[in-house]
Amino acid sequence: PPHRHRRTDPFHTRKMASAVTSSARAAITSRPFAPKRGAKPLRAVRSVHPTVTVAAAADEVTVKQHDLGDCKVRLEVAVPVSVQNEAYQACLEGFAEKCQIPGFNYKKGGGRKKGDAKLPPASVIVNFVGAKEFASACVEEVLQMSIPVAMETVAATALQDSERIETAFDDLKKAFGDNDCAPIGDLTYSIGVEVVPTIKWTGDYRKLKVTVQSPGDDVTDAAEAESIFNAALRNLGTMRVVADRGLEVGDQVVMDLSAVNKATGEEIEGIKQEKFNLDTGAARLNLPGLVDGIVGMKTGETREVPITMPDDWPQAFIRGVEATFTITLRELFQNDVPAPTDDIASKIYPDASTIDDAKAKILESQKATTAAMLEQTTNEALVDALAAICDAPLPASIVEETGRQMYSQKMLEMQVGSGMSMEVVNQLASPEMVEKFLETDRKEIELVVRRTIACEELFRLENIQVSEEEFKAEVVAAKEEFERYGTEYDVQRLVEQAGEAIEARKSMEWLRAHAEVIVLPPAGTA
């Protein structure tokens, strides 16, 4: 089967990415792309010639390159006996020095004692090491010598770590089948590589026009701020056990819940939870009808509630499913909410001196949130419009990698947003669930990859510049943010992410400056 050969950093080639930030950075920063991590950004796009022959030197490694389409290239590598002999000799010397063969004390370059420079006979070395192990070492040495030559032919376009040796290793060992494992003829093998796509524009990206709907206005911001204030006030309440009545909206409950598909009777994965905590007076639960369905329930009671799974549920294959939820109420509490007095203002909003001050600060924060949401909505509309006129094949490995990162981010958002237990998160993160996501949400994943390709090509075509000061500031900001969240990070990767983030932001700034954006009022307003 195909396998990857280990090679050193100097021969690694570039890999494209989603040009977005990590989940920690995305938590407080608006970015144009959906996934929170990808591979390294696409810096250049070049055409791939159907067949190319490259010689490292006279009578040495030759490479033929074949374009297979869909961002795939096959390299046919031929290694002559002369190069194999170099590898063979290197293995003889290496094993002779390291194995301490009885009767010999070989040292490369000679040693202090007489005879240290004399290499043991090949037959002695091979017999001592073992023919299979020696032949394997020779193949490894040949690959180390020839892979860099082969990869040099696609160095400008290959995706990092996408290369796979397609020829079986045992077949390669047959080249060292002569007496004492000496080479018997040219060694040939093929490498499969993914390359960056060639892009064609089907429209003029300099004349984009998009229409977006505002997420809010003064009226909706005021209503949302009031809701946030009430939720903060409820968090300061005192819980009392309820034993003499059923659940009322506003109570705090602890319950077990599970769900089955009404049509098939099969359990819906990722729903089952035990001791799920819910504030029915403040929680924004993405399960319409659940709170109404449990009103009146008493401690210890079990009830079935019909619910239609929402269209924005993270797992696409669950969206719209008619489900039957089974709910058991374990504990019921009444929340005695305190009166909104000035002495608790700072507990409702930091540094607030009065209740009115707290409300004003919440409203100000909500307006800022609405503005950020509008910017994000506009950014997404712009990159979607850009992606729509970007015609390019999508590398399969990048699509899969991006999809896995998108799914991980969805799980993180669900855990943070709903207080989902790690047990449920682990259920949702099973390989089967991830594969379902990659299959059912493939169009969304491909759109994200296409967005990335389009924006990176825009950055290149328009020769957008990033100053050293801008780059340093982005690195410092990224470092401080990771440290503020107590998150471990790799310095080299952090620097790469900073570059990706600032390039993404610069591309968005260019798009916003050159596109026509029409903003409609919020939904439901006149």
Q: How far apart are CA 349 and CA 523, in angstroms?
A: 29
Q: How far apart are CA 334 and CA 284, in angstroms?
A: 18
CATH (residue range 238-336): 3.10.50.40
pLDDT band of residue 526 (cuts 50, 70, 90) is: low
CATH (residue range 1-45+199-220+363-526): 1.10.3120
500: pLDDT strictly greater than 90? no
Q: How far apart are CA 406 and CA 459, in angstroms?
A: 23
281: pLDDT strictly greater than 90? no
55: pLDDT strictly greater than 80? no
486: pLDDT strictly greater than 80? no
pLDDT band of residue 419 (cuts 50, 70, 90) is: low
Other residues' Cβ atoms within 10 Å of the Cβ of residue 255: 24
Measured in Å, how far apart are the chain's first and last C-alpha atoms?
A: 63
The first and second tokens of residue 25, run together, are 């950075």
Q: What is the model's pTM?
A: 0.62
Q: How far apart are CA 142 and CA 187, in angstroms?
A: 9
Domain residue spans in the chain?
1-45+199-220+363-526, 48-195, 238-336
DSSP assignment letter at 100 = -
For tokens 């037959």, what's the residue?
Answer: 123
Report pLDDT for 427: 77
Of 20-24, 88-92, 492-496, where does the model show the most confidence? 88-92
Are the CB atoms for 73 and 195 separated by under 8 Å?
Answer: yes
pLDDT band of residue 309 (cuts 50, 70, 90) is: very high
The DSSP code sequence of 211-280 is EEE-S--HHHHHHHHHHHHHHHHHTT-EEEE--SS---TT-EEEEEEEEEETTT-PBPTTT-EEEEEEET
For residue 416, with 0-12 CB atoms within 10 Å meaning exposed, 13-18 middle and 19 or more buried, which class applies?
A: exposed
Strands 238-241 and 302-308: unpaired
116: pLDDT strictly greater than 80? no
Q: How far apart are CA 406 and CA 228, in angstroms?
A: 29
The first and second tokens of residue 26, run together, are 């995305």
Architecture of domain 48-195: 2-Layer Sandwich (3.30)
Report pLDDT for 24: 26
CA-based nearest residue to 97, from 109, 107, 111: 107
Q: How far apart are CA 491 and CA 122, in angstroms?
A: 47
- How big, in percent rounded to 5, are the helix, strand and coil portions of the chain? 45, 15, 35
DSSP assignment letter at 423 = H
